[in-house]
Amino acid sequence: MSAFRKYFSRSWPAMIILIFVSIWQVLKHFDKELENTVEYAYDKIDESKESCMECHIRVEGFSKYHDPGLIGCVVCHLGNGSETDKKKAHQDMVLIPGNLSNAEQTCGSCHPDELYKVSQSLMTTNSGIVAVDKYVFGETDSPDLHYDIRNLGYDSSDEHLRNLCANCHLGAEKTELGKIDQLSRGGGCNACHLNYSDQAENHLHNYLSSSKKELPTVHPSTDIFVQDEHCFGCHSRSSRISSNYMGWHETLLEEDEVKDTLKYKVFQDKRVYEFKGEDVHHSKGLLCIDCHSSHEVMGDGNRYIHEEDAVSLRCDDCHYQEEPLTVNYEDLDKESLLVFMHREYSHQDHKMLRVKDDGHPLVNTYLDENKNLYLIGKKDGKKHLIKPQAETCARDLAHSELSCSTCHSQWAPRCIGCHNTYNETQRGYDLLDKQLTRGTWVEHVFEFETGLPSLGVREVKEGKKYQPAIPGMILSIEAGDEEKFERLYAANAPHTTGKGARSCASCHKDPSALGYGKGKLIYTIHGNTGKWSFEPDYADNPIDGKPEDAWIGFLEGESDGKVSTRKDFRPLNIEEQKHVLKVGACLECHEESSKVMTRALKEGLNPLLLNLSENCILPDF
């Protein structure tokens, strides 16, 4: 046997032990670095190899994980860091990194997974917006087709979007220095992750006002601390989720008409809003991202058509009925671990909530030793006790098919009478190509209203689910000699959640709830017969004969053709309307809190109908 083979045969056990010890040390080091240092994700560079700091000296304001001493300047801004000549050093430099046009070379060089997810996300493609617009214009037979707003052509619906809607997607370029504000649209990674301190704003102002001679020494931060302002620019349009959440509803008032500054507020784009009541989560100081984490906001890498496909979080993920679904720190995915690290959380030894639909974790939650569930507010770090689902909801068999927001939304937008015309001679602006056009679509709004949302039914594989519905497009479209009218409602999550639920009467005796529009539902009894009738507030539209704000006619079924912005969402059918109104007839005599109505909640209505009093007069349909 050779000397080498003798040596190997004697020493291999020690070598194996050494290998295992080395691996253990590496893993231990990896875990420690992940929790306590920045070296897990980034390699420290020798900043002396970059010339940037020779001119941009003593610059501060960077986030911990984007300090140029750690990652340099070139990795974000490109350019030529080996040159000392200004012109050569700035060659091919990117002034505003993070736009999707440069993100592959800038942000994506360190965050390729995140960039891929964002590029596939609805905030980039706007697929549903394009699909529904084409459906409404009659260019497709379905609102459920994949699109990308960046690939719009010049069909009627495409030009409609180019003139009115195509600014709100992540592919829109951020071209000016400055913070994200109410007027911001797009900007790629900047849309969520760019933050200016007051000092950074002041330094930028001095830089610009000095004709760019006074170089700023405070840099904006690129970090994980997303504020509601980052969401507002795009999500205060259409169904106006951001402004709803804050409690503000858009009006048709002009700025100079505002007298009561507590009731009304003028936003940055000069739109005037009226205060209607903030979401209970907003009143507690919670941000949008306290619920909608990076897994939803940046996407999961899959291409979805509509928002409800991409959003997996549900109210009962936090406000559970029996036991919450949880996950251990050791089982967190890489993205969640990074968020945990950047937020500097310390509850590694506690279980965290996990979303039922797709399993993604909510790392700002934890279950303590006494099984109390807490949420750590991302705005201020405040701990909020999460309460289980109210007993009333948990034991309510009669309303098991209702979504939480159907009962708990305080109000929702009810904008009606939208008239869109194409003016061939008026100058317009193409929001996608960023250029003036001859000819443009013009939108005329009849009325901005609010009220409790109507009831709609979403048909899903598990059955049906009642959800809030608002006027989506009660819309006339006029282009030249062509004119068409559509009456579509849209499924909606109003984000105006209140502690209490809407009253029984607000569904069972309210015509708006059933889709008839505003007005009076009147129950009259003649002998042993009861009859419901309806007096609408709005006149009938001459095109289809329904009140202007209605979804369906009184005790009528679905009309032919398009009824909503989704194929799987519809108004109540005749039998469902009759059932709702039958309970409404009971409420004519019985208080909502009475024993008989409380029993109906637990058992449903049908068992009670077997033992009717002779004084009970049910409606004859």
For residues 162 and 154, give the distance between their C-alpha atoms in angstroms, rounded to a whole number.
Answer: 9
Nearest 10 degrees: CA dihedral of 568, 571, 576, 578?
-170
CB 350 within 8 A of CB 342: no
Q: Is 141 exposed, middle or buried (0-12, 13-18, 19+ CB in 10 A)?
A: exposed
**Given pLDDT bands bounded at 50, 70 and 90, which one contains residue 253?**
very high
* Secondary structure (DSSP) of 335-398: HHHHHHHHHT---TTSEEEE-TTT--EEEEEEE-TT--EEEE-TTT--EEEEPPPPHHHHT-GG
Write down the pLDDT at residue 20.
44
For 116, the token pair is 């891929």
For residue 85, the number of C-alpha atoms closer than 13 Å in the C-beta half-sphere is: 3
Please give the average per-residue pLDDT across 182-199, as a whole number.
97
CB 367 within 8 A of CB 351: yes
For residues 124 and 130, give the distance between their C-alpha atoms in angstroms, rounded to a whole number.
Answer: 12
Write down the pLDDT at residue 277.
96
Measured between its terminal Cα atoms, the distance across the chain in Å is: 102
Contacts 24+ apart (CB under 8 A), 279-283: 279/244, 279/245, 279/246, 279/247, 279/495, 279/496, 279/497, 279/498, 280/497, 280/498, 280/499, 281/245, 281/497, 282/245, 282/246, 282/247
How are strands ordered across the β-sheet holding 361-367?
Answer: 326-327, 351-354, 361-367, 373-376, 383-386
Can you tell me whether residue 447 is helix, strand or coil?
Answer: strand
User: What is the DSSP-derived secondary structure letter of residue 428?
Assistant: E
CB 568 within 8 A of CB 458: yes
CB 505 within 8 A of CB 511: no
Write down the pLDDT at residue 14.
46
57 has a pLDDT exceeding 90: no
| Phi/psi of residue 505, nearest 5 degrees | -65, -30
For residues 284 and 275, give the distance between their C-alpha atoms in angstroms, rounded to a whole number.
Answer: 17
**CA 338: distance to chain centroid?**
22
Which H/E stretch holds residue 248? strand 248-250
Who's near 8: CB < 8 A, 6+ residues apart? none
Who's near 302: CB < 8 A, 6+ residues apart? 120
Percentage of residues in the chain with pLDDT exceeding 90?
A: 77
35 has a pLDDT exceeding 50: no
Please give the average per-residue pLDDT across 154-183, as a whole number.
95
Can you tell me whether residue 505 is helix, strand or coil?
Answer: helix
**Given pLDDT bands bounded at 50, 70 and 90, which one contains residue 47?**
low
Please give the average per-residue pLDDT across 407-411, as a whole number.
96
Can you tell me whether residue 467 is helix, strand or coil?
Answer: strand
Nearest to 252 by CA among 414, 450, 472, 448: 448
Tens digits of per-residue pLDDT, 579-616?
Answer: 999 999 999 999 998 999 988 888 888 888 888 888 89
Can you tell me whether residue 1 is helix, strand or coil?
Answer: coil
**What mean pLDDT, rounded, does the chain reach?**
90
Strand 463-479 versus strand 435-447 pairing type: unpaired
Tens digits of per-residue pLDDT, 497-524?
Answer: 999 999 999 999 999 999 999 999 999 9
Which segments of 42-89 does DSSP mark as H helices, in order? 52-55, 68-71, 74-77, 86-89
415 has a pLDDT exceeding 90: no
Write down the pLDDT at residue 400.
87
44 has a pLDDT exceeding 80: no
**Given pLDDT bands bounded at 50, 70 and 90, which one contains residue 430?**
very high
**Given pLDDT bands bounded at 50, 70 and 90, which one contains residue 48?**
low
Q: Which residue has the higher pLDDT, 307 or 13?
A: 307
**Given pLDDT bands bounded at 50, 70 and 90, which one contains residue 33?**
very low
Who's near 324: CB < 8 A, 6+ residues apart? 317, 318, 353, 367, 373
Whole-model pTM: value is 0.89
**Given pLDDT bands bounded at 50, 70 and 90, which one contains residue 239?**
confident
Which residues in 163-179 are b (16+ Cβ under 10 Å) and which e?
bbbbbbbbbbbbeeebb
Can you tell me whether residue 569 is helix, strand or coil?
Answer: strand
Tens digits of per-residue pLDDT, 362-401?
Answer: 999 999 999 999 999 999 999 999 999 888 787 777 888 9
For residues 9 and 11, give the distance between their C-alpha atoms in angstroms, rounded to a whole number.
Answer: 6
Residue 338 one-letter amino acid: L
Strand 482-491 versus strand 412-413 pairing type: unpaired
CB 377 within 8 A of CB 287: yes
